[in-house]
Amino acid sequence: MAVKVSDEERQRRLMAREAFPGSHEAAARSLGISSSTYKSWLAKEGLSDFIVTGRSTLRDSSGSVVMEWEKTSLDRDREDEARQAAFEALASELPRLPPTGKNKGSTFIDLCTVYTLTDAHIGMLAWHREGGADWDLTIAEQTIVGCFEEAIRGTPASALAILNQLGDLLHYDGLSAVTPTSGHILDADGRFTKMVEVAVRVLRRVIDMLLAKHERVHLVLAEGNHDMASSVWLRTMFKALYEKEPRITVDDSALPYYVYRHGETLLAFHHSHLKKNAQLPLLIAAQFASDWGLTKRRYIHTGNLHHVEEKEHCGATVIQHPTLAARDAYAARGGWFADRSMSAITYHSGFGQVGRVTVCPEMIAA
């Protein structure tokens, strides 16, 4: 309820806000008022993550005012700023890993191998009686790590490796197992904390394997439509974690479009949840005009749709990658099929694509 408060009461509420940062419910309890009253007052004072979106009045039969209240909603800008600040604070406390020794094997300086993992949906629960195969946290970790071991074994010793985590690494983006934009209920395995632990452990293990073979590793941790916020803390955390490792770089672009120029070969990455494949060449050319102009061969990597599609457009080839994950109930009931696999594509700085290794989960099981 929107009510005027005395200076003394205002001071009490400010002190409660300081005593219980981030917990409106706890602050309201300490003041002996309802949470809605406290949130409304914060919004009116401009101190909240909530903004006033309207006011309502309840009148009795005679027309007299019985109650007035303000409607509030989350201030998305402030919410995003607070989340980003929390992520950066978390990263600042991470122990920095010491640098590893240089890869002792000989590598080919002109080669770059792009290892793509997209739509892994760690945290998803799939049942073989619905989708044909099972998927949970344990299976996801074993499958992803096993497929990377097999792919790394088959690729040339390029000087540079790009770990292209192309989005939807996590199946959902918070404590509730729902899609972040539409709120659709998802089949989930376990708690959010367990899902995060598995995702971080998988990335760490894959990065260690890549460092053992390649001289340098570049990380692309792209935004997906299932993990829009989590991709932010993943980039922030891994950049801080490997801050002292000169062999690792992290693309921390705030935009969900990422590029890497390897000599005269341009490599671009987008989950494709915001732009369709056919729209991407023109967007990349406009957004990254200097990199586009300095290259002769260009490749744009996308995911999102869980199946393979590769098409040469004017100026660039768009490669849509499949998923390693099994079909969940939503995909199975919708009748969508796709072969599960991942690929590692090797590019020459002057000649573009020169090799490809493809691995499927059945190879690991065998």
Q: What is the pLDDT of residues 140-168, one digit of tens each?
A: 999 999 999 999 999 999 999 999 999 99
> What average pLDDT does this structure show over 250-257?
96
CB-based contact 296:264 (threshold 8 Å): yes
CA 34 to chain centre: 36
What would the two tokens of residue 333 be? Answer: 């009931």
CATH 2.30.42 is held by the domain 7-74? no
Question: What is the band of 2 on the pLDDT scale with cuts at 50, 70, 90?
Answer: very low
Query: What's the confidence (pLDDT) of residue 207?
Result: 97
Query: What's the confidence (pLDDT) of residue 1?
Result: 44
73-77, 287-291, 350-354: least confidently modelled range? 73-77
* Helices assigned H by DSSP within 266-341: 280-287, 289-293, 329-334
Calculate what percentage of the chain has a pLDDT beyond 90. 64
State how far the Cα of 168 lies from the Cα of 186, in Å rounded to an integer: 13
State the chain's mean pLDDT as an integer: 88
What is the DSSP pairing of strand 50-59 with strand 65-74? antiparallel
Q: Please report, as a single letter, which amino acid is at residue 151.
A: A
Query: What's the confidence (pLDDT) of residue 3?
Result: 56
What would you report as the CA-atom Rg of the chain, rounded to the nearest whole angstrom? 25
Domains of the chain by residue range: 7-74, 105-365
Range of 25-29, 81-85, 152-156 with top mean pLDDT: 152-156
- Tell me whether the CATH fold assigned to 7-74 matches the one assigned to 105-365: no
Contacts of 235 by beta carbon, 8 Å cutoff, 6+ apart? 221, 250, 251, 252
State how far the Cα of 29 lies from the Cα of 138, in Å rounded to an integer: 41
Query: In the predicted model, is pLDDT for residue 49 greater than 60?
Result: no
> What average pLDDT does this structure show over 18-36?
75
Q: What is the pLDDT of residues 288-324, one digit of tens each?
A: 999 999 999 999 999 999 999 999 999 999 999 999 9
Instruction: Rounding to the nearest 10 degrees, give the CA dihedral for residues 99, 103, 107, 110.
Output: 0
CB-based contact 75:50 (threshold 8 Å): yes
Query: What's the confidence (pLDDT) of residue 99?
Result: 86
Per-residue burial over 252-287, b = 16 or more CB atoms within 10 Å of its CB, e = otherwise: eeeebbbbbbbbebbbbbbbbbebebeebbeebbee
| Superfamily of the domain at 105-365 | Metallo-dependent phosphatases (3.60.21.10)
